[in-house]
Amino acid sequence: MANLKELSKSPEHLTGGHRLCAGCGAGIVVRQALMAAGDTPIVVTSATGCLEVSTTVFPYSAWRDSFFHSAFENSAATCSGIEAAYRSLKAQGKIRDDIRFIAFGGDGGTYDIGLQSLSGAMERGHRMLYICYNNEAYMNTGIQRSGATPRGAHTTTAPAGKVRQGKEQNKKDLTQIMIAHDIPYVAQAYVGNWNDFITKVQKALAVDGPSFINVLTPCRLGWIYKPEDTMELTRLAVETCIWPSFEVENSVYKINVVPKEKKPVIEFLKLQGRFKHLFKPDNAHILEAIQKNVDEKWSLLQRKATSGCQA
């Protein structure tokens, strides 16, 4: 597990003064991920999105590490190219430092338009960590639905109204897709538990190969909640099993946080304006369907972890 005393000595890789919203989980994700790296030199790539536009407002930058801004769809491809160049230069003796590589992307640039480059980078075996800060919609461009948007959520392209009641499909299970790539380390994490997330980043950076972490990262504008509730929301996501905290290390499943008492999904949904329409009497069947889907996926994950299932 991460050592708090040692972490307190880590250099600050992301400066204050960036333009991320109050209560935004993305800044928390970056600070903790880079804190986990300690003194190890890091090269960061970031897809276009909330994180990039808020931390690199020309002529300023909030990044103290080497930083490369790529297009919306190719953070993983850019990172893999830099990592390949590094390996070549190191083999030639032109670089001696032991450098690590981290790519960041939102769910839009990861689940959807960036899936091809992410899959390619993982399949080729580049030693890099890809972190998806998952706020469950295209928040930077107007809160449009993405493959990560959960069923029933109101977005600008899947609105709640007379015809439909938010997004009609379940979200894509990208974590399982990454597990299917048979890479050394895959995990789900959440910003409400620093120890869980930082420990996973440390494990991911230590493996000799590609790794992927999908971290639940609330957006106060798209989710519509009070900014001070960011941490509590993600804890509720874990306690309701909507977002289980688990890892797959060398193909073996392990659940990292098991709720003492599994709460109903409505405890998570009711705190967010994007789901308020679901609490109308006519939409009770949608809540029931969401609960059923969560229960089935949680039971499947438990069976995989209990049996020591090989991915």
Distance CA 100, CA 54 (A): 24
243 in Cβ contact with 237 (< 8 Å): yes
pTM of the entire predicted model: 0.96
Q: What is the pLDDT of residue 52?
A: 94
pLDDT over 60 at 280, yes or no: yes
Report the Cα 264 to chain-centroid distance in Å.
23
CATH of domain 4-306: 3.40.50.970
- Is there a contact between 236 and 263 (Cβ–Cβ < 8 Å)? yes
Question: For residues 213 and 129, is the Cβ–Cβ distance under 8 A?
Answer: yes
pLDDT tens digits for 13-62? 888 888 999 999 999 999 999 999 988 999 999 999 999 999 999 899 99
Query: 160 and 167 in contact (C-beta within 8 Å)?
Result: no
| Strand order, beta sheet including 185-190 | 66-69, 42-46, 100-106, 129-134, 211-216, 185-190, 245-249, 252-257
Q: Could you read off the pLDDT of 51-74 as tens digits, one per residue?
A: 999 999 989 999 999 999 999 999
Euclidean distance between CA atoms 132 and 239, whole angstroms: 21
